[in-house]
Homo-oligomer: A and B are copies of this chain.
Amino acid sequence: MQKYYIGADIGGTTIKMAVITEQGSIHDKWEIPTNHEDNGERIPEEITVSLKEKLPQLNIRMSQVLGLGAGAPGFVDTEMGFVYQTVNIGWKDFDLAKILNKKTGLPIFVDNDANLAALGEKWKGSGEDADNLIAVTLGTGVGGGIVANGTVINGANGTGGEIGHITVIPSGGASCNCGKTGCLETIASATGIVRLAKEAIKRNPDSILSNYFSPDDPLTAKEVFDAAAEGDKEAKEVLAYVTDILGMTIANLAIACNPSKIVIGGGVSKAGEKLLIPLRETFDKYALPRTSEACEFAIAELGNDAGVIGGAFLVKQNI
């Protein structure tokens, strides 16, 4: 009888859920809104109700489900499935695995959402099942996950893979949401790229880049890539600076972890080759030749499905 995994990617706005086959393909997926009432305490019940409604529709019995892998937006004790704290949900010291297990009867495994996305890309995305992989997500912030020896590095208290908060400007860097300054996130996120581009526009108000920018139409990272493609000097300089710092940071991580795959995701990664080609060049400049030889760059493939597929993989790894 066919068996299935359940993935649940719990975000600040929605919970993405999926029934996933043992082979890692999505049998069905759906979303429910994230209920913030009572500091998020109702979320496990709502996940359970939603799952118990969905399975009969798919002609799947609970006994066919091998387990549920959940991603939480915060710091997680993966051994206990315990959520220390979250950013967007009210959870603090929340015993997610135990509660979900009681309600569903399923084996439950929990990790940080960015770590699950890295596992998803490893298993079924552009990671091509690499045992050593670095995933970097360039969105509003910079997130990431590191897979070493086939398992994701969650670390001693759930902060493993917080790549966005690696210091890249030792002094005088821009303020980061984390309270530090000069984090990678202040440079290589969409927000960081836009900030640097606005500084460039101030320096040269006649640049092509400035045409993209008006008080009514806020600049986007995509427009910085577009302006660079049109030959705008300022946009090109901003992106050269960003890729130099990002390439060095990833090279330094690769020297430590020696991955065979580096997967770049998030909104900024939609620039595709325009990002990957210069990024690979700066990476090669800073990495050991042998480290470079071992690894390929790729754009993430799974998009919003990475988390639920990673959740399924987490179950697969642990049962």
Contact = CB atoms under 8 A, between A and B. Distances in A.
Contacts of A160: 132, 148, 256-258
Interface in A159-193: 159-163, 165-167, 170, 178-180
Given A253-B256, A258-B157, A162 B286 contact: no
Nearest to A251: B167
B255 A291 contact: no
A113 interface: no
Nearest to A259: B156
A148 B166 CA distance: 18
B289 A179 contact: yes
B288 A258 contact: no
Contacts of A179: 289
A162 to B, nearest CB: 5
Contacts of A260: 156-157
B149 A153 contact: yes
B154 A288 contact: no
Contacts of A291: 159, 162
Contacts of A153: 132, 148-149, 256-258
Interface string A224-262: 000000000000000000001000100111011111100
Contacts of A263: none
A155 interface: yes
A130 interface: yes
Contacts of A178: 288
Rank and list the top 5 A-B pairs by shortest CB-CB distance, nearest first: A155-B258, A156-B260, A160-B258, A156-B294, A157-B294
Interface of A: 75, 130-132, 146, 148-149, 151, 153-163, 165-167, 170, 178-180, 244, 248, 251-253, 255-260, 286, 288-291, 293-295
